[in-house]
Amino acid sequence: MFLAATVWTTTGCERTPLYQEKRFIFGTLVEIKIYGESRQQAQQAATDVFADLQRLHVALHPWQQGALSRTNALLTTGEWFSVAPTVLPVVEQAKRLYQQSDGLFDPAIGQLIGLWGFHGDTPSTAPPDDAAIETLLKNKASMKDIELNGIFMRGHNPKVQLDLSGIAKGHAVQVGLSRLKAMGIHNALIDAGGDLGVIGRHGQRPWKIAIRHPRQKGVLATLDLKPNEYIFTSGDYERFFKHAGKRYHHALNPRTGRPAQGLQSVTIIHNDGPTADAAATALFVAGPKYWYAIAKKMGLRYVMLVKEDGQVLMSPAMAKRVQITVKPSPTIETSQAL
């Protein structure tokens, strides 16, 4: 599927306030905004970056044929193999973030995600049997079962199946912004379905970002992003199904094999895209009781959580930047400093 929209206020090679283009990649609308460049330069830069993002989408797709599916097949052999260059840096980052999150971010549980029916375009209608979940939890796969040596990798557990969905967009947005910088673009934004990063500014002002409300249509809050920052949100509204009146979502707790409980969403700001992406997942899994300890261990500063009851909890640094826009305003609590 291909969707594109371009907005211009002048023509030819004149400097323009803002170039915008959208395409459907990573299962969502990806938007590139470039400020203050000529039409020709901005359009060519966006075209090149969209091509890069599409290649990463194909390579890192969790269930369709591509570099990641080939990697998963080779991991089951227990033998060393050379890793595709599109996959290797993401796995390296994933191993680091697995350790920093005490294993709450664990992309090696792809079999478990598939068991819950989240490896497909059509959502499940019922949760799997408890016995099937417990079978996968026995000698369960984790990122500790993946060994790296330079460009080579091998698996130590046949249950390992990588699903890099919790880090792929963070990696891709960062790669895209780096490519724009290399092409001489100084002010830009890449938004992958509400998860985004920025370089520079939107003219004389910062890039202003809206944070989606996890239950209502519209915006929960707004804030300004600084240059080279990323903002990522993990929520129970992204991929889910309802069964017997209960919501089952894709953010699985690797320890229990079941959807994490206690939060509606987690939003993270960080200067590293993969970290922002993975940390949002890790804190969502940690829940309202353990999020603070994991945030401290991961070196996070800007955190916002929406609890199951709608209460908003923010780190002090985040509270200074966020403007709650929804009415009526929810109950807001500020945590200890991170």
Domain chopping of the chain, boundaries: 67-165
Q: In the predicted model, what is the mean pLDDT of residues 205-231?
A: 96
pTM above 0.85, yes or no: yes
Residue 51 sits at φ, ψ, to 5 deg, of: -65, -40
pLDDT of 11 over the 50 cut: no
Mean pLDDT of the chain: 93
CA distances, 301 to each of 223, 242, 269 (Å): 15, 34, 8
pLDDT for 311: 97
* 8 Å CB contact between 159 and 140: yes
Q: Which residue has better confidence, 175 or 9?
A: 175
Give the ranges where the chain is alpha helix by DSSP (H).
39-60, 67-75, 88-100, 110-115, 130-137, 165-182, 273-297, 316-319
Instruction: Read off the pLDDT band of 238 (50, 70, 90).
Output: confident
Reply yes or no on whether the pLDDT at 5 is more than 60.
no
Residue 15 pLDDT more than 90?
A: no
Answer whether CATH 1.10.3980.10 is correct for domain 67-165. Answer: yes
**Beta carbons within 8 Å of 26's beta carbon, 6+ residues apart:** 53, 57, 168, 169, 172, 192, 193
CA gyration radius for the chain?
20
Please compute the mean of the pLDDT values over residues 31-46 and round it to a whole number.
97
> Which stretch of 171-175, 247-251, 295-299 has the lowest confidence by average pLDDT?
247-251
Top pLDDT among 87 and 123 is at 87
Mean predicted confidence (pLDDT) in 164-176: 98
Residue 218 has pLDDT above 60, yes or no: yes
CA distance 237 to 10: 39
Residue with tokens 């809206």: 210
Type of residue found at 38: S
Q: What is the pLDDT of residue 252?
A: 96
Concatenate the DSSP letters of all residues of 260-319 into one string.
--SEEEEEEEESSHHHHHHHHHHHHHHHHHHHHHHHHHTT--EEEEEETTS-EEE-HHHH
